[in-house]
Chains A and B, each alone.
Chain A
Amino acid sequence: MTELILGPFNRVEGDLEVRLTIAEGRVQSARVSSPLYRGFEEILTGKAPGDALVIAPRICGICSVSQSHAAAAALRRLGGLEPPANGRLATCLISACENLADHLTHFYLFFMPDFARPQYRDRAWFDQAERRFRPITGTAMEAVLPARAELMHLMGLMAGRWPHTLSLQPGGSTRPLTAAELLRLLTLLRTFRGFLERHTFGDRLESVSGLDGLEALGRWREGRAGDLARFLDVAEDLGLAGLGRANDHFLSFGAYRSPDGHLFPSGVWDGVPHALDSRLITEDPSHAWMAGDTRAPAQGLTRPAPDRPGAYTWCKAPRYGGGVMETGALARQMVAGHPLIRDLVARSGGSVLARVLSRLLELAIVVPEMERWAQALRPGEPWCRTWQHKAPLPEEGSGAGLVEAARGALGHWLTLRQGRIAAYQIIAPTTWNFSPRDQEGTPGALEQALVGVAVAEDEDTPVAVQHVVRSFDPCMVCTVH
């Protein structure tokens, strides 16, 4: 029995430490620690309600818009405001831009570089993977960085800038588009589509999103150029479909609510689908450097207790009906019922392959939706509603903003008293995925996914462990906030 402490763990957003107990060449147990605490929930308490729209996005530089969106949604819920169609569509487009840029960044900058590691030099795919995906100088960077930056022109156009915009308001968007700007938006979306079809997929987006199972995927990848096909070669050779399975319980708060409803619905999957019941959500601080007991987030506390016995992280343990949940693109597609992802999970469960494939699939699904949302915008019609003197934002009340960030379910729970924020609780996607143990001793999703992973004797930072950790696309700054 040996113990390994992994850190600094990079190419995750923020700082992360993983402690492994290893015996007979396999991980026996894992403890995941979020070593950074900044106190956003404490900072927000006492502020004017609208200040959440400035402060909350700054929780995270990679899911900044999602944090804005959740804060705006919580205020909207509390105050009963319905954005006009343009406001809904703008929110969908701005959220999608961030989420897809994050998926792209994850794949090319955070995840794939691990296959350029020298320990893979004997693999048939190594030379190609090393040339294309090595950090900084990989050939993919020449196309990926400009494509990402040009997609982000959507933010310059519709949100002022990224990260940390104030354009997403409870009543819609502060940034109306003119007819000319709408044309520029369509052009930049087509440019991004062109990048994906040429470099990432080597095919039309619709052909990728229409794949209805593993047989179809197998036929599709025969002789296919593009980075998805390259990844599938690597995944097959390394058995990534059999690596990193958690408990296969999936949670989604529902993504992209246009005037037609959610593109990806809310729900829970534990072998069968269920409707989401947000009253079942709790946070358990038993293994966190936090005082208190298990509570629903609307009654939650954030009181640092750095000497709490048995604690090993700043992250509280969120649970749904007492159970561990995994969230993210895989969960969204399981809940939404995408046939390819359902087929993959039915055969081998949630895995490194399933998580990465779900993200790439979302790139193929969402870009055409963005084109439709952009076409539905109506310059000259309203973009934002505001509270009026006759119906102001109430001085007292509670609201929950439940949205999907790139990495999964993000919730803000807000209480106002006497016109000020009296309580603010946040559960971010990686809070779910990188949860510590709860009071029953049940490990969180990553902690479960790491058990059984093979570790070679000479590895001080096992590469398979790195694949599993990064397959969740963790955002550590959100996790604890």
Chain B
Amino acid sequence: MNASRQDGLNLLWLQSGGCGGCTLSLLNAEQPHLYQQLDQAGIRLLWHPSLSLETGRAVLDLLAACEDGREPLDILCVEGSLLTGPKGTGRFHVLSGTGRPMIDWVRGLAARARHVVAVGTCAAFGGVPAAGDNPTGALGLQYDGDLAGGLLGQGFRAAGGLPVINVAGCPTHPGWVLDTLLALSLDRLAAPDLDPLNRPRLYTDQLVHHGCPRNEYYEFKASAEKPSDQGCLMENLGCKGTQAHADCNTRLWNGSGSCVRGGYACVSCTEPRFEEPGHPFAETPKIAGIPIGLPSDMPKAWFVALAALSKSATPRRVRENAVADHAVVTPAVRKTGLR
């Protein structure tokens, strides 16, 4: 593999058992737009199923060239779960025009790639297609839920030395994908830059809770009771933002958004097995009235003591606004000025 090729890195993108949403999300990249960011990073699309011109024969030729090494493959991005069913045959996704299961294509191409990137929770961990009884035998590239292994096996290392880079998220934020690709192109992504689930720490060293605009409600345990309420979504409505690793509330989506900013729970879509929480997504499981999923890094006794204290100290403004869909009590305007 020639690391110093003049034309930067090339990238092949494949889609399997997913929804295409990570690609569509990628098109939301801004300032600059997607193609400009790729160009600036020196990344050339060999082929992408939604974006490239080539169809049919031209694609088959390219895939064959990548697999037998005639076309050096720097980055292989895989979007969607790898479907091993029925009965291990992979027939739930046979790549069109090839008569060959996608899992075979992915095995063959991953063996050639300098870097393998799982784009989205499906490709990383299995994701939503692995929910329920996992009817299609859906796996991630190197994980099956939170168990290492997956399609390529725990010991897999791409030619560049890294395991599969798990850009988890359902969908991925465009910035998570583009930052990862840029870091690869600058040779600034090494093993210590991945977290214990091989996700890039550039977005998983934070919690969704960080930057949550409902933080004042969280502090006082002033909780929303129904959809469209402004209060904290953790106590009743299933929010896992205090446990989920992602920078959604500091990076922001589609300009100014995030799930909690949209008024609904973080379902921890960057985490393995998020698709099977063991309770209805929009309800917080509790024991004796206390949510069982407490914030990361916080001893339970502290949380319970703090919650009791803060509930008793909740200002009327916070208490009433928490269960309303607009500010029924606005912050007081004082005559004395701020000191």
Contact = CB atoms under 8 A, between A and B. Distances in A.
Interface of A: 5-11, 13-17, 33, 35-39, 42-48, 50-51, 53-55, 58-62, 64, 105, 109-110, 113-114, 116-117, 134-137, 141-142, 145-146, 148-150, 152-167, 169, 171-176, 178, 304, 306, 379-380, 382-384, 386, 460-461, 466, 477
16 contacts: A15-B93, A15-B96, A37-B83, A39-B92, A39-B132, A55-B131, A117-B53, A159-B262, A160-B253, A160-B259, A161-B258, A163-B171, A164-B170, A176-B228, A383-B228, A461-B58
Given A15-B15, A60-B19, A157-B257, 16 more contacts: A8-B95, A8-B97, A11-B51, A38-B83, A47-B132, A113-B53, A135-B52, A142-B33, A148-B27, A153-B256, A155-B253, A167-B264, A175-B263, A379-B326, A382-B325, A384-B228
B178 interface: no
4 interchain residue pairs of minimum CB distance: A160-B262, A61-B21, A7-B97, A7-B96
A113 B52 CA distance: 9
A172 B228 contact: yes
B326 A380 contact: yes
Given A50-B282, A159-B262, A163-B171, A477 B20 contact: yes
A8 B20 CA distance: 15
B95 A58 contact: no
B232 interface: no
A13 B20 contact: yes
A61 B25 contact: yes
A142 B36 CA distance: 9
Contact of B33 (A8, A114, A141, A175): A141
B49 A15 contact: yes
B40 interface: no
Contact of B19 (A10, A61, A383): A61
A386 B227 contact: yes
Contacts of B214: none
B151 to A, nearest CB: 16
A61 B45 contact: no
Given A15-B93, A42-B133, A304-B86, A166 B20 contact: no
A42 B262 contact: no
Interface string B297-330: 0000000000000000000000000000110000
Contact of A61 (B59, B131, B171): B171
A141 to B, nearest CB: 6
Contacts of B81: 38
A383 B27 CA distance: 30
Contacts of B131: 43, 55
Nearest to B137: A39
Interface of B: 15-25, 27-30, 33-35, 45, 47-60, 81, 83, 86, 91-98, 128-129, 131-133, 135-136, 138, 170-171, 226-228, 248, 252-265, 267, 269, 275, 280-283, 325-326
B96 A461 contact: no
A134 B52 CA distance: 9
Nearest to A387: B226
B256 A157 contact: yes
A148 B280 CA distance: 34
Given A9-B97, A51-B280, A64-B19, A178 B326 contact: yes
Given A62-B24, A149-B33, A175-B228, A166 B282 contact: yes
Contacts of B258: 160-161
Contacts of A173: 228, 263
Contacts of A137: 35
A155 B263 CA distance: 12
Q: Which of B24, B25, B261, B267 has the most CB of A within 10 A?
A: B24
B262 A165 contact: yes
A50 B228 contact: no
Nearest to A461: B56
A101 B280 CA distance: 31
A384 B237 CA distance: 15
Contacts of B261: 156, 160, 175
